[in-house]
Amino acid sequence: MKPLSKSLAELPDDVAVLQEMVRSFAAENQRWQIRYESLQEQVRLLLAKRFGPSSERHDSSQLQLGLFNEAEVETTSAEEEPEAETGPEPRRRGRPVRKPLPPELPREEVIHELPVEERVCGEDGSDLVEIGREISEQLDIVPAQVRVIRNVRIKYGCPRCQEGVKTTPLPPQPLPKSMASAGMLAYVLTSKYADGLPLYRMEGMLKRIGVEIPRSTLASWAVKAGTGLVQPLINLMQERALASGYIQMDETPVQVLKEPGRKPTTKSTMWVWKTGPPAKPIILFDYDPSRSQSVPERLLMGFKGYLQTDGYSGYLAVAATPDITSVGCFAHARRKFDEAVKSAGKKAKPGVAHEGLALIQELYRVERQAKEAEMTPHQRYALRRELAVPILERLHTWLHENLPRTLPSGATGKALGYLHGQWERLIRYLEDGRLEIDNNLTENAIRPFVVGRKGWLFSDTVSGAKASANIYGLIETAKANGHEPYHYLRYVLERLPACQTVEAFEALLPINLPPMLTQPPPPMQDGVA
């Protein structure tokens, strides 16, 4: 850039040329101003993500400020104003309340009695008698106990001919020729996949209680269980998911070090798909090095019904077939307006982003009302038609008013653009009371994998990644159907090796078992398991 004094000295005398230069400088200045404001938004959003709360909740009164100057809004606000309470002062929020300990836990009574010499009345010297008991409970935890199961197989032989020796066969085992029992294997799988415990930490924990098992052995058990042992259950779960008529899908990156033809730093993908309500939930994970549309095409082959996803184009191409109806996710739309609010800063006055966020939250209040009332799909369909449709009409009108006058490059412009581009998919949840307003159930299902990934960081091999996908799917489906993961896995792994028929495998699916597997296995007595 030329020095200012020199530039001023070289200014032309022609007025038209000067005017053109001013217009050019003004346009350039406006471009830099837009760039500056965009960078400021990004900085504020990054700071909010780094140091602020991750929740998307906001003060509803702030969001409503300046939203619409309509009489019905003010009237509704006045009608919903709670009356003054005349009863006792309510308990303060935030005060901790001790919940009773679960009644199913075993109890051990410790009786505390006064010494005999103190059981005398201080007034007249009479002996004191028991008139009641005060009971308080404490929670006690015994660290993990390890035991060795000795499988003693009785041998029989003929005392006359010394031939025809028979040995009692060993019952089918989860991992033949391995020292891992069903209980040990269930403990390893639950610790790694349900609790996010890396194998090197598990190795150290076992060593502290006197058992030295290398992490390579633990990894081998997990891979064998995931790639072979539980595969029949996964296949049956896939069949039922494809026949459900309603699937939600999402994906997240994963790193596999030893993948043929790829660098160790290359990102692969873990895909998650879940059946929607009201059917019993089935959650499936699938590993694939690709994030292209070919993966959901493979997973959803033969599926007919609703597919609910975010706005990723790979899903949209799959849903373009006549058999699949694409449903959008309002949580993603809400998140973009939430980011726009955060990028504006705490001192910013409520604007377009606040208005959009407030309207979307009105839709979620309708969903919350349906959930609290435990409505059937038919009832929820009717409620949405009554309450959600008018809100969506207002939101659509508001969108078309603000979209042309908002810069598309800013956070608010991007939120408006996403809402506009996804509108037809977003409102499709009105068609069927079974459909959810968003894809959050699948995001919740994928969260244990994301949490675990922070601990173990990557998979070593492709077989390990595929085994992890199967175990994650089995555990998350068990949890979604009310099972405690360890006891469900122990129950299944004890019976799975003996299964010979489809009916036997089906009986072990999480959706076919009552959620009552919450008690530990009985202890061994007299040397017999």
Which burial class, exposed, middle or buried, applies to 400 when counting CB atoms under 10 A from its CB (0-12, 13-18, 19+)? exposed
Residues 340 and 380 in one domain: yes
For residue 393, pLDDT beyond 50: yes
For residue 110, pLDDT beyond 70: yes
Token pair 């040397």 in the structure block, residue: 527
The CA–CA distances, whole Å, from 46 to 41, 94, 110, 273, 485 equal 9, 30, 55, 30, 37
Residue 142 lies in a domain: no
pLDDT of residue 48: 65
Residues 353 and 424 in one domain: yes
Residue 476 lies in a domain: yes
Residues 231 and 188 in one domain: yes
Token pair 């400020």 in the structure block, residue: 65
Q: Between the CA atoms of 452, 456, 461 and 462, what dihedral angle is there, to the nearest 10 degrees?
A: 20
Residue 20 lies in a domain: no
For residue 61, pLDDT beyond 70: no
Residues 404 and 339 in one domain: yes
**Which range has the worst mean pLDDT, 10-24, 216-230, 291-305, 420-434?**
10-24
Residue 400 lies in a domain: yes
Q: What is the reported pTM?
A: 0.77
Q: If you ran DSSP here, which 8-state letter would residue 162 be given?
A: S
Residues 412 and 507 in one domain: no
Counted domains in the chain: 2
For residue 144, pLDDT beyond 50: yes
Residue 87 lies in a domain: no
Residue 410 lies in a domain: yes
Q: What is the arithmetic mean of pLDDT over 79-100? A: 54
Residues 472 and 432 in one domain: no
Residues 414 and 480 in one domain: no
* Of 415, 338, 369, nearest in space to 49 by CA: 338
Provide the domain limits for residue 405: 332-436
